[in-house]
């Protein structure tokens, strides 16, 4: 499986709970369903990443159109 990341870096942790229970990806993607933690090579790359609150507000704007 290929996973693409918006930042270049090194995987520093893998969520073993998702390996054991893949349904967490759908049940709680922003909580217990995370896949891995990345140590970014360039912190400036993180500035362009939307957080969950930004994504929710973007969806609300799309609903108004």
Q: What is the pLDDT of residues 3-60, one digit of tens each?
A: 887 888 999 999 999 999 999 999 999 999 999 998 988 877 777 777 655 545 545 5
In the chain, where the domains are located: 9-64
The pTM of the full predicted model, rounded to 2 decimals, is 0.59
Distance CA 61, CA 65 (A): 7
Residue 47: helix, strand or coil by DSSP?
A: helix
Dist. CA 44–CA 46, nearest whole Å: 5
| Spatial distance between the Cα atoms of 47 and 7, rounded to a whole number of angstroms | 10
3-class SS at 56? helix
């Amino acid at each position: 499986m290929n996973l693409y990341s918006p930042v270049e870096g090194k995987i520093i942790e893998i969520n073993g709970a998702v390996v054991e229970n893949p349904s967490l990806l759908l049940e709680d993607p922003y909580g217990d369903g995370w896949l891995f933690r990345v140590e970014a090579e360039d912190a400036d790359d993180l500035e362009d990443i939307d957080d969950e609150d930004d994504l929710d507000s973007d969806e609300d704007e799309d609903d108004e159109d």
